[in-house]
């Protein structure tokens, strides 16, 4: 095609900022191996580009959510081993065994299934025993470990290579989390009587910020890599933002006082108002819960209130006080003037959901 129109809305990703943030985590945890978590398309930043940028020596695994993401890494030529964080579904396990991906087990049945698949292909599968120290999502209960350890050890094609858990409340409940660290330590010591545990891990971003876990030797940073610390910390001011969200104005009009804007007419102009229509909506991940909660946009050097409800592909903003606004002008939705944390707060959600909600319709520029 001779001329391709520019996108109405897009994401600018700073891969160097992600690499910088990983370095910051590495400096803070000098004796700990790292599993950068790049599930959910690297939190909306783009799975393959982020993996390629971080695919250097010194990283033990890439944390992913499922076999599909692990496969995409393999196909992209990424050398670092993918690690599937949650439980595997039975139909994923053959691919896990054949590709030597890392994964967890939470039941003896799962381990036996892995054993039969590994025996079929004459392979050894390396598994991390998941322990449920409080999250209630996966893992053996601590009280089961004494009984199951010998049963896992008896599986000839299964090698228990690690132990993992996950904090449910590291950013909300310090005493609970400290208790949990003691429990995890006990679990590791018990399992170490049976296995050589090369990897011992429990902390995601919040856990890495607030706690020492002497028994752990691997950390799983996610959000920190994308420039946001989930709690006040030594990282404040040193992490770099990694992503900007932009759109463009499609139309600028003058509406009289008393005119409704968007579905439900939840906003009625209190005065004659210049209204810009902007080419982004909830289908792109501009969360519909931002409607009516004071979301603002940055246009031509000014903050402008978003008006009314977010629609699927378009939003409206009040540009009455912004000089010289015209169709085609850029709009900052997340960027230097509007942090992602502000958007999450206005949408009454968490910044993880804002990042991962950025939709496939938005092209990513690196």
Q: Is 221 in the site for ligand PLP (CB under 6 A)?
A: yes
Told to judge if 123 belongs to the known catalytic residues of this protein, a careful annotator would answer: no
Residue 326 · residue 277 · CB < 8 Å: no
Phi, psi of 320, rounded to the nearest 5 degrees: -55, -40
Round to whole Å and give the CA distance between 334 and 199: 37
Q: In DSSP terms, which residues pair with 303 in a beta bridge? A: 298
Q: Provide the minimum distance between the beta carbon of 263 and ligand PLP in the complex, in angstroms, as a whole number.
A: 33
Residue 364 · residue 45 · CB < 8 Å: yes
Catalytic choice (153, 263, 303, 366): 263
For residues 55 to 74, the per-residue mask of contacts with ligand PLP, x marking binding by CB under 6 A and - elsewhere, is --------x-----------
| Selected binder of ligand PLP within 64, 129, 187, 204 (CB under 6 A) | 204
| Selected binder of ligand PLP within 139, 222, 281, 285 (CB under 6 A) | 222
Q: Is 106 in the site for ligand PLP (CB under 6 A)?
A: no
Q: How close are the terminal C-alpha atoms of the chain, in Å?
A: 23
Residue 164 · residue 129 · CB < 8 Å: yes
Q: Provide the minimum distance between the beta carbon of 219 and ligand PLP in the complex, in angstroms, as a whole number.
A: 9
Residue nearest to ligand PLP as judged by C-beta position: 222
Which one of the spans 110-118, 172-180, 218-226, 322-330 is the region binding ligand PLP (CB under 6 A)?
218-226
Told to judge if 263 belongs to the known catalytic residues of this protein, a careful annotator would answer: yes
Q: Provide the minimum distance between the beta carbon of 72 and ligand PLP in the complex, in angstroms, as a whole number.
A: 17
Closest CA to 162 of 193, 140, 130: 130
Residue 359 is given by DSSP the state -
For residues 135 to 174, the per-residue mask of contacts with ligand PLP, x marking binding by CB under 6 A and - elsewhere, is -------------------------------x--------
Burial 189-222 (b: 16+ CB within 10 A, else e): eebeebbebbbbbbbbbbbbbbbebebbbbbbbb
Residues with catalytic annotation?
39, 263
Contacting residues toward ligand PLP, per CB under 6 A: 37, 39, 63, 85, 166, 204-206, 220-223, 352
């Amino acid at each position: 095609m001779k001329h391709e129109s520019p996108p109405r809305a897009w994401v600018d990703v700073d891969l160097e900022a992600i690499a910088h943030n990983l370095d910051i985590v590495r400096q803070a945890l000098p004796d700990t191996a790292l599993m950068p978590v790049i599930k959910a398309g690297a939190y909306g930043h783009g799975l393959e580009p982020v993996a390629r940028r971080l695919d250097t020596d010194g990283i033990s695994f890439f944390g992913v959510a499922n076999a599909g993401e692990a496969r995409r890494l393999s196909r992209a030529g990424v050398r670092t081993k993918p690690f599937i964080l949650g439980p595997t579904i039975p139909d994923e396990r053959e691919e896990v065994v054949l590709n030597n991906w890392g994964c967890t087990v939470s039941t003896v049945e799962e381990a036996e299934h892995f054993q039969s698949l590994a025996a079929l292909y004459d392979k050894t599968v390396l598994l991390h025993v998941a322990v449920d120290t409080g999250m209630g999502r996966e893992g053996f209960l601590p009280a089961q470990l004494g009984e199951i350890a010998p049963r896992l050890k008896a599986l000839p094609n299964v090698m228990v290579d690690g132990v993992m858990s996950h904090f449910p409340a590291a950013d909300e409940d310090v005493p609970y989390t400290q208790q949990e660290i003691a429990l995890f330590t006990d679990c590791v010591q018990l399992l170490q009587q049976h296995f050589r545990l090369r990897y011992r891990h429990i902390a995601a971003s919040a856990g890495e910020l607030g706690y020492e876990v002497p028994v752990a030797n691997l950390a799983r940073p996610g959000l920190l890599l994308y420039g946001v610390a989930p709690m006040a910390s030594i990282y404040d001011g040193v992490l770099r933002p990694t992503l900007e969200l932009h759109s463009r104005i499609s139309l600028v009009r003058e509406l009289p006082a008393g005119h409704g804007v968007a579905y439900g007419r939840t906003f009625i102009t209190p005065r004659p108002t210049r209204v810009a229509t902007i080419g982004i909506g909830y289908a792109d991940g501009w969360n519909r819960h931002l409607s009516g909660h004071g979301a603002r946009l940055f246009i031509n050097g000014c903050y402008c209130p978003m008006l009314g409800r977010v629609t699927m592909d378009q939003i409206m903003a009040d540009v009455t006080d912004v000089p010289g606004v015209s169709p085609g002008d850029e709009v900052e939705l997340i960027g230097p003037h509007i942090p992602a944390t502000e958007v999450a707060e206005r949408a009454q959600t968490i910044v993880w959901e804002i990042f991962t909600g950025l939709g496939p319709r938005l092209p990513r520029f690196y």
